[in-house]
Amino acid sequence: MRTIIIGAGALVLGFGIGFVISGGCSGLSPMGMVRSLESRAASLTPGEDGAILATIEDETITRKTFDQQLSLFLTSNQRMSQEEIVKMKNNPRFLKQFLRQLVDNRILLKAMEKDPDFMNNPELLVFMNLSLSDALQKYYLYKKAGNISVDTNVSDADVEKAYNQLKADPRYAERLDRVPFDQLKTMLSQEIVKQRQMAEVQDLLNKVKAGFRHSVHDEIFGKTPHGTNDAPVMPGMK
């Protein structure tokens, strides 16, 4: 069995992309950036705006906006199968929760808009810059990796090899015996598939980086201590 991999998770692009679409205008408030984003997205998407699902003072959330954000949120979640996505799209409880979350986001943006501490705040601009860079990188990899697939079949030999590696690590050796084998096997299988996915994504990233001249001068931070262990931590076994 093979599966399409990589998702951007819950992509929070409102701040950053709204800022870019607006031309980076410093006069726009965070809410104005979101308005610009949604207006641009709506104009590029066929169909009517549909029903108004929520109002926040003079702002509205239309069915089109809701569907756009819901679709990206679900399809970019690599942990969900297509069947699960369909179920979520038809789950009234989840749809109501998602709509309420969009409303809460708008309210917070409006609160920021009225709070002088967030106007012309350099720290906020740095945060937006970091958020934008991270979100766009994830979205780019998500789209570019759409045709990448990995083998999700994990053999007993694969699990045994991973188990032996963990057993040799002092951080996990003592705890392994306290985890039921069936649970441990499931955890290891999931981690193996995840590592395969990350290897494919890293390979894609390396290919992208190879197309650009770049240099890193990290010697300014000093030497890396000997014996540094960068091994990944197994989920649920910290």
Per-residue pLDDT reduced to its tens digit, 93-150: 999 999 999 999 889 888 888 888 887 788 887 888 888 888 888 788 777 776 667 7
Reported as a single tens digit per residue, the pLDDT across 33-52 is 777 877 888 888 888 889 99
Whether the predicted pLDDT of 233 surpasses 70: no
CA quadruple 14, 15, 21, 26: dihedral positive or negative? positive
Above 80 in pLDDT, residue 73? yes
**129: number of Cβ within 10 Å:** 13
Do residues 11 and 139 lie in contact, with contact meaning Cβ atoms separated by under 8 Å?
yes
Quick one: how far is CA 86 from the chain centroid? 20
DSSP structure class, residue 118: G
**Bigger pLDDT: 20 or 30?**
30
Average pLDDT along the chain: 77
DSSP code at position 2: E
Q: How far apart are CA 163 and CA 185, in angstroms?
A: 9
Q: What pLDDT is recorded for position 80?
A: 74
Whole-model pTM: value is 0.59
Cα 121 to its chain centre, rounded Å, is 26
| Per-residue pLDDT tens digits for 169-213 | 887 777 777 888 788 888 888 888 888 878 888 888 888 889 999
pLDDT surpassing 50 at residue 90:
yes
Q: Return the higher-pLDDT residue of 31 and 110.
A: 110
Give me the pLDDT at residue 31, please: 67
Which two structure tokens, joined as six digits, stand for 141? 């990899």
Rg (CA), the chain: 22
Q: What confidence score (pLDDT) does residue 78 get?
A: 61
Task: Give the Cβ contact number of residue 148 at 10 Å.
Answer: 17
CA distance 197 to 31: 36
